[in-house]
């Protein structure tokens, strides 16, 4: 069909998974107290406690940026520093929201594969000037899992970072906007990737994996939960009719469909990456471990893809392709072929 | 039925109006660009332009506190002052969100019936110290319509306030969390209550009147819209899948059902108020002009209501009863009777 | 002398007391660690501990607004409220500095003679919504002593306010920009007016009483001192060469000259007030208890004073006259006479 | 003398230059309007206009951190980004003050010799996402001259950076805490190093070069001056008795003594650097172009220096030696010899 568009822009362009929109519709019954003091939210907290294998506190939100910012604010002091990778979503793509909500400074670190390295974190914190009033004081570590480039930390990598952080008095926040993709790709239990490895707060995203503006801020350290209701209100993050978000989140975690979708998205990305990697001239920028592919292409391939029935984003110098669970296989095929053709053409041209 | 509870806590305890949840479900088709760059949002903006009889900019949000705070931030300077009534929602019930988002100070004014008075505003602004670096500099006026006590400004009252505000260089923001109730009660066109009277930005709430976490920030002064996308992102107010909010808002404004619901809620409140006012000993605190009733009751009546099958909030020294469109008439009847019975008993006791 | 100007604008228009500028000059010897880690600062802390009859922490600053703001920030949480009189300096004359440094909201109370009343504070705090996330949470009480209108709290009034504040979990900050005038006027020991009455932090001003940009933030509650070095640096309040401020402050508190100056200033004001009060048509706005007089005058008197060799400020609807220790008696005489003459003229005019 | 200490900690440990303390004392005459509305300040502005060869606006302050923060705030929007070198004082040594005062984010760049490089700035700004609401929006460039490691930009390097910055809509702020050392070292006119090269605002420090807590915020772009009085008050940066700072600043710029002192300090540092560089095993970290030396020493030399009659700071992995105009030549000699002896010992030890 001439008009088909293959859309690789993001995983938040999709709609809602059937069971999630059903859950939302089913919550439309009777009256319920506002602001999360409702039965749907209580059931959601129970569900999360089961999935994470321990009692947790959970706050429903509509927005991942808000979730990250509130989580960090719960750990903050007003002259503090949050450590994160220079490519972290909180650093690059949230327009200063974490700074607004925390009043703190982000201190960024480089690191291979867009991941924080334990040695550099240790060295940086050792020289951070704890107790020196001229220096912002470290209070939080942000780990993005998977990273904004789709790469993954192993549980032991997380544990090593968290141990250093805790040793220096920092709390550990995980930005899990695509946490499902991480669980699906690693095959590790949610608990293993979070609190068992030392994570204190998790921003668990559901929106990019089939929910409608539904995010869960999960708190493993009970003491950190105390200020969150106030911080959320002050941040305009409290939902009047929270039940419609909590109902989705409860359903989201109720069976394996969230992981099935994530596995499917990851598999599509692996497929596309394998095919692109086989084309001479295409550079895969980061290991493809979840559902995102970042590539550098020669200009003719960029031009060809731009003319084609494809949608994708350019981030800095890279093209980004994100796969969803329902990504069309023929789209993957078409995209890989288009890039390949463009480059074959280019490379053949010089031949006489 | 023994278990029936009559719930007067708030208008945000209700669920979704049928046509709004239908609109939300119907938006679950295909892919759409995130963050409001989608067809549902575009149609919603068109619809709002029709309803307000002029081109408007509209930003969909999930939260009224966020909507108010962003609207004010769009007009702010960092050493500024926002003028509002001392009972304003932004002053009392948003936990400092407007201050966080704007960096400004709220300057509060008293006023009869929980409304700002033009004379006091004029006098206050004349003495505000424009140009004096020791003083915060006025930049915005907030009008809550209806007020948090359910009272209403007439279009000419709004126009008088807005004229003074504009004369002193302030922009005018209307907090319309219950704007539908104001339109329904006054019978005036949305345009008359807003931009024709000098309002520059309107936070139009739909959540309290049948929508699911859906709020519209409507901007009449195009220049004020420029920074809003950045302010929203920085404030964690941008919705990834905005279409599900915009679809509701578009449907909300598509016919008269939003006003029918509001009229019904207002009528229930008028009915309840009339009955309570007839009971000696009950003091109606503010004129009942929309769907909220604030009363002061002798303690025996408070006790009786608290034991009864009623839910309501106590705000400061007042009891608040809020009516929804689907408020049960028998609940209104029961509540009025319960209060009346309790007080008749009380008043008869002294008799020998 | 034709050119003599009698200047009643403020007590900060004067220069430095001889012994204070001597102390400053004497500190110009050798090298000293920056940022307050010097012997002059240490001696100043000892001196303050003697004067206040207990060990205290003291931080030298150049600016009273900074001192107030840092004191409040030391007690703050980011969703908090500071309670103060509506006429408080922190509310009216600091252009939002306390809000910037604390991230908190000022909640203002009315009160006779520009003073907070215990009953109203108790009632306000009881209804403040402790624990309700919609409401900012009280954390500090600000008492200005003397007030910005020159009135005084008695030790027992301070104690009553502080007891209520502490009962509700608030810390008590005293803005003592003119603390010397309060000590001089009441004849009470500094300790009685502060920590013995429940004050936790005192912003002790010296600049308005003969020092050169020298202010002392005195902390009675040791726990509140911990964050202050960081808050001061973040607020640009740390002085590189703090010794030149500390040397003044040490000398300031070393004998009774600070109180002699304040007594003299107070006496001049009392003299002027007595003379103005005797003139029919002049309204003294607030009890004259220290060195400031606020009056309302008929326009002819305002005009006459404005044409005369006088300088003074108009604040809102009032004229303000502030007396310094070295206020010229002939200026006081001239001013009183000028006002009197103008009004006698006015009142005689109607006579045929 | 056994007790002599050679102090290389900083240039702010010194006292006041004779002519500056004289100027301060001489200002102690008569009354003067507060907050900078005085004749000393007016004369200081005239003087600065002469020195910078054009009309300038100047604001006197007591603190360099405040000066930097206010300068940046004058250019800021609340969702903005300030670009600076990763070693910039505003990034490392001001405990978050620039972020507090601006509400903005610092984006840091690496660069050889602790200097920003034009190519990297251009590339970074080109990819900064102008207009993309997910990204903070660039508004200011900070150049530290000399850098915190004592290195210098040439006028043409400054011009190249400023041209890029202006092309992308940024204002250019120069942190000149040691501006005198830069002028002295380069022999270029103040104008050449600032506005002629495109600098819009200069934080000119005098405190490190002989003044008492005296800093000048010099504004070349008149439009940027408008908000500064308000921003200063909100930031607690307005001095009640500004004349005592302005008098120093006026005198500071009145003849060449400020540059003589700076030349002397630079010469001392060059001398010390030459001697240290001659010692095998000592690594000079940055080109010594002004009055600061950063070295890496083998541990025995660090130990020997720590035991000796020397004071210096350790910053991260480096030792820092700062020279003042009145640095004792015998101290320089002693320090170089101590380090040399320690290392000769070390290196000889292995010999049998």
- DSSP letters, C22-71, are HHHHHT-SS---STT-SHHHHHHHHHHHHHTTS--EEEEES-HHHHHHHH
Query: Among residues 242-281 of chain A, which lie with CB inside 8 Å of chain C?
Result: none
The pLDDT score that the predictor gives to residue B76 is: 87
Q: Cβ distance C158 to C199 under 8 Å?
A: yes
Q: Please check whether residue A93 touches D, CB under 8 A.
A: yes
Whole-angstrom distance, CA of residue D172 vs CA of residue D166: 8
pLDDT of C344 higher than 90: no
A97 contacts on B by Cβ (under 8 Å): 233-236
Q: Is the pLDDT of residue A3 over 80?
A: no
Average pLDDT, stretch A29-38? 92
Residue pLDDT, tens place only, A155-173: 999 999 999 999 999 999 9
A349 pLDDT tier (thresholds 50, 70, 90): very low
The helix (H) or strand (E) run that includes residue A322 is strand A318-322
CB pairs under 8 A between C and D: 145
> Could you tell me how many residues make up chain A?
352
Q: Is D100 helix (H, G, I), strand (E, B) or coil?
A: helix
> ∠ CA A300-A305-A306 to the nearest 5 degrees?
95
Stretch among A73-87, B107-121, D296-310, D332-346 having the lowest mean pLDDT: D332-346
Neighbouring CB atoms inside 10 A of C3's CB total 5
Residue D1 has a pLDDT of 43
Chain C: give the shortest CA distance to residue A134, in Å: 6
CA distance C274 to chain B (A): 28
- Asked whether the beta carbons of D35 and D347 are under 8 A apart, the reply is no
Q: Which residues of B touch C99 (CB under 8 A)?
A: 99, 103, 105
Rounded CA separation C9/A331 (Å): 78
- Tens-digit pLDDT profile for residues C160-214: 999 999 999 999 999 999 999 999 999 999 999 999 999 999 999 999 999 999 9
Q: Are D10 and C32 in contact (CB under 8 A)?
A: no
Q: Do A282 and A296 contact (CB within 8 A), yes or no? A: yes
- Check CB contact of C128 with chain A, cutoff 8 Å: no
Residue B212 has its nearest CB partner, among A67, A100, A244, at A244
Structure-token pair, residue A321: 């392709």
Which range, of B208-217, C73-82, C207-216, D156-165, averages the lowest pLDDT? C73-82
Give A-chain residues touching D127 at CB under 8 angstroms.
Answer: 316-317
ipTM: 0.96
Of B29, D298, D132, D328, nearest to A212 (Cα)?
B29
**Residue D231 near residue D67, CB atoms below 8 Å:** no
Measured between CB atoms, which of C14, C63, C230 is closest to D237?
Answer: C63
Neighbouring chains to A with at least 3 Cβ pairs closer than 8 Å = B, C, D
CA distance C12 to C257: 17
Predicted confidence (pLDDT) per residue in D242-268, tens digit: 999 999 999 999 999 999 999 999 999
- Chain A positions in Cβ-Cβ contact with residue D95 (cut-off 8 Å): 79, 133-136
The distance of A317 to chain D (nearest Cα, Å) reads 8
For residues C141-151, b (16+ Cβ closer than 10 Å) or e, as one string?
A: bbbbbbbbbbb
Answer yes or no: is pLDDT of B350 > 50: no
Distance from CA of B73 to the nearest CA of D (A): 9
CA gap C176, C204 in Å, rounded: 5
CA distance B352 to chain C (A): 37
- Cβ(C241)–Cβ(D207) under 8 Å? yes
Check whether D2 has a pLDDT greater than 60.
Answer: no
Query: Residues of D with CB below 8 A from B134's CB?
Result: 233
Question: B110 — contact with chain C (CB < 8 Å)?
Answer: no
- Output the pLDDT for position B183: 98
**Cross-chain CB nearest to D96 (options A79, A96, A127):** A79
CB C57 within 8 A of CB C226: no
Look at residue A243 and tell me whether its pLDDT is greater than 50.
yes
E strands, chain D, in order: 6-7, 57-61, 80-85, 105-109, 137-144, 171-176, 201-205, 215-219, 283-284, 292-296, 310-311, 313-315, 318-322
Q: Could you report the per-residue pLDDT of C15-68, keeping only the tens digit for each?
A: 999 999 999 999 999 999 998 999 999 999 999 999 999 999 999 999 999 999
**Which chain C residue has the Cα nearest residue D235?**
C97
Q: Which of B79, B134, B231 sits opposite D79 (nearest CB)?
A: B231
- The neighbours of chain B, by the rule of 3 or more Cβ pairs under 8 Å, are A, C, D
User: Any idea which residue has 């900019």 for tokens?
Assistant: B57
Q: Which element (helix H / strand E) includes B17?
A: none
Percent of chain A at pLDDT > 70 equals 97
pLDDT of residue A344: 83
| A135-145: pLDDT as tens digits | 999 999 999 99
Residue D351 has pLDDT above 70, yes or no: no
Q: Given pLDDT bands bounded at 50, 70 and 90, which one contains residue A322?
A: very high
- Residue D345: band (very low, low, confident or very high) from pLDDT cuts 50, 70, 90: low
Distance from CA of D78 to the nearest CA of B (A): 8
Residue A238 has pLDDT above 60, yes or no: yes
Residue A201 has pLDDT above 70, yes or no: yes
Closest CB from D78, D133, D238 relative to B103? D78
List of chain C residues whose C-beta atoms are within 8 Å of the C-beta of residue A103: 78, 103
Looking at residue D348, its pLDDT comes to 46
Nearest to D239 among C63, C208, C237 (CB): C63
Report the SS3 class of residue B278: coil
pLDDT score recorded for residue B189: 98
Interface membership of B133 toward D (CB under 8 Å): yes
Does C36 reach chain D within 8 Å, measured CB to CB?
no
Look at B106 and C105 and tell me if their CB atoms are within 8 Å: yes
Contact map slice: C 39-78 vs D, CB within 8 A: 62-67, 69-70
Is residue C155 within a helix (H) or strand (E), and if so which, with residue range? helix C155-167
Does A135 reach chain D within 8 Å, measured CB to CB?
Answer: yes
Note the residue count of chain C: 352
Residues of chain D with Cβ-Cβ distance to B234 below 8 Å are: 78-79
What is the distance between the alpha carbons of residues D68 and D106, in angstroms, rounded to a whole number? Answer: 13
Is the CB of D102 inside 8 Å of chain C's CB atoms?
Answer: no
C-alpha span between B312 and B320 (Å, rounded): 6
Are the beta carbons of C316 and B127 separated by less than 8 Å?
yes
pLDDT of the residue at B286? 95
A133 close contact with C: CB closer than 8 A: yes
| CB–CB contact A133 C77 (8 Å) | no
Predicted pLDDT at B345: 62
Q: Spell out the SS3 assignment of B131-151.
A: CCCCCCEEEEEEEECCCCCCC
Residue given tokens 């004073």 in the structure block = C305
Cα separation of D67 and C119, whole Å?
A: 44
Residues of B in contact with C92 (CB under 8 A): 134-135
Identify the weakest region by mean pLDDT among A33-37, A91-95, B173-177: A33-37
**Buried b / exposed e along B177-215 (16+ C-beta atoms within 10 A):** bbbbbbbbbbebebbbbbbbbbbbbbbbbbbbbbbbbbb
pLDDT of B315 reads 84
Closest residue in chain B to residue A29, using alpha carbons only: B15
What are the pLDDT digits (tens) for C242-255?
999 999 999 999 99
Query: D315 pLDDT band (50/70/90 cuts)?
Result: confident
Summarised one tens digit per residue, pLDDT across range B140-165 is 999 999 999 999 999 999 999 999 99
Structure tokens at A244: 């419609």
For residue D235, give the nearest of C232, C84, C77, C105 by alpha carbon. Answer: C232
Whether A344 and chain D come into contact, CB under 8 Å, resolves to: no
For residue B234, give the nearest of C321, A352, D133 by alpha carbon: D133
Q: Does the CB of C317 have a partner CB in chain B at under 8 Å?
A: yes
What is the per-residue pLDDT for C12?
92
Closest Cβ opposite residue A233 in set B65, B235, B237: B65
The alpha carbon of residue D45 is apart from the nearest alpha carbon of chain A, in Å, by 31
Chain B CB contacts of A24 under 8 Å are 24, 212
CA distance A218 to A195: 10
Both tokens assigned to B259 = 């006003």
Chain D residues whose beta carbon lies within 8 Å of the beta carbon of residue A96: 78-80, 103-105, 136
- A235, B100 in Cβ contact below 8 A? yes
Write down the pLDDT at residue B346: 55
**Measured between CB atoms, does D4 come within 8 Å of chain C?**
no
Beta bridge partners of B85: B109
Could you tell me if D177 lies within 8 Å of chain C, comparing CB atoms?
Answer: no
Query: Taking CA atoms, what residue in C is nearest to D25?
Result: C21
Mean pLDDT to the nearest integer, D1-8: 79
**pLDDT grade, residue D349 (50/70/90)?**
very low
Q: Which one of B69, B208, B236 has the shortest CB-CB distance to A66?
A: B236
Show residues of chain C in contact with B108, CB under 8 Å. Answer: 108
pLDDT in tens, D92-149: 999 999 999 999 999 999 999 999 999 999 999 999 999 999 999 999 999 999 999 9
For residue B65, give the chain A residue with the closest CA: A236
> What is the bridge-based pairing of β-strands C171-176 and C137-144?
parallel
Indicate the residue of A62, A236, A244 with minimum beta-carbon distance to B235.
Answer: A236
Torsion, CA A291, CA A292, CA A297, CA A303, rounded to 10: 90
Beta bridge partners of A173: A142, A201
CA distance to partner chain A, nearest, from residue D111 (Å) = 15
Angle (nearest 5°) at CA C18 between C15 and C24: 90
User: Diameter of chain B by CA atoms?
Assistant: 77
């Amino acid at each position: 069909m001439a008009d088909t568009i293959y859309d690789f822009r993001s995983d938040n362009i999709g709609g809602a998974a059937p069971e999630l929109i059903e859950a939302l519709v089913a919550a439309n019954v009777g009256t319920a107290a506002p602001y999360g003091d409702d039965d749907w939210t209580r059931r959601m907290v129970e569900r999360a406690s089961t999935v994470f294998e321990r009692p947790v506190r959970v706050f429903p939100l509509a927005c991942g940026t808000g979730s990250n910012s509130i989580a960090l604010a719960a750990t903050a002091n007003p002259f503090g520093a949050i450590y994160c990778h220079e490519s972290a979503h909180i650093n690059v793509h949230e327009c200063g929201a974490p700074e607004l909500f925390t009043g703190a400074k982000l201190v960024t670190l480089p690191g291979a594969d867009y991941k924080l390295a334990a040695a550099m974190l240790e060295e940086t914190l050792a020289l951070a000037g704890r107790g020196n009033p001229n220096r912002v004081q470290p209070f939080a570590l942000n780990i993005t899992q998977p990273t904004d480039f789709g790469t993954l930390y192993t549980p032991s990598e997380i544990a090593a970072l968290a141990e250093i952080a805790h040793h220096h008095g920092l709390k550990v926040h995980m930005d899990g906007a695509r946490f499902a993709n991480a669980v699906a790709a690693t095959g590790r239990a949610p608990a293993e990737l979070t609190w068992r490895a030392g994570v204190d707060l998790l921003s668990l995203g559901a929106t990019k994996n089939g929910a409608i503006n539904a995010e869960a801020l999960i708190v493993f350290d009970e003491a950190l939960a105390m200020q969150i209701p106030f911080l959320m209100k002050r941040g305009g993050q409290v939902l009047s009719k929270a039940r419609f978000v909590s109902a989705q989140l409860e359903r989201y975690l109720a069976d394996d469909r969230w992981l099935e979708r994530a596995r499917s998205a990851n598999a599509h990305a692996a497929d596309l990456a394998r095919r692109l990697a086989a084309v001479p001239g295409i550079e895969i920028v980061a290991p493809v471990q979840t559902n995102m592919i970042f590539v550098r292409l020669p200009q003719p391939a960029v031009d060809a893809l731009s003319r084609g029935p494809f949608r994708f984003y350019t981030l800095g110098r890279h093209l980004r392709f994100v796969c969803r669970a329902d990504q069309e296989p023929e789209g993957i095929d078409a995209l890989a072929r288009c890039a390949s053709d463009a480059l074959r053409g280019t490379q053949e041209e010089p031949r006489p």
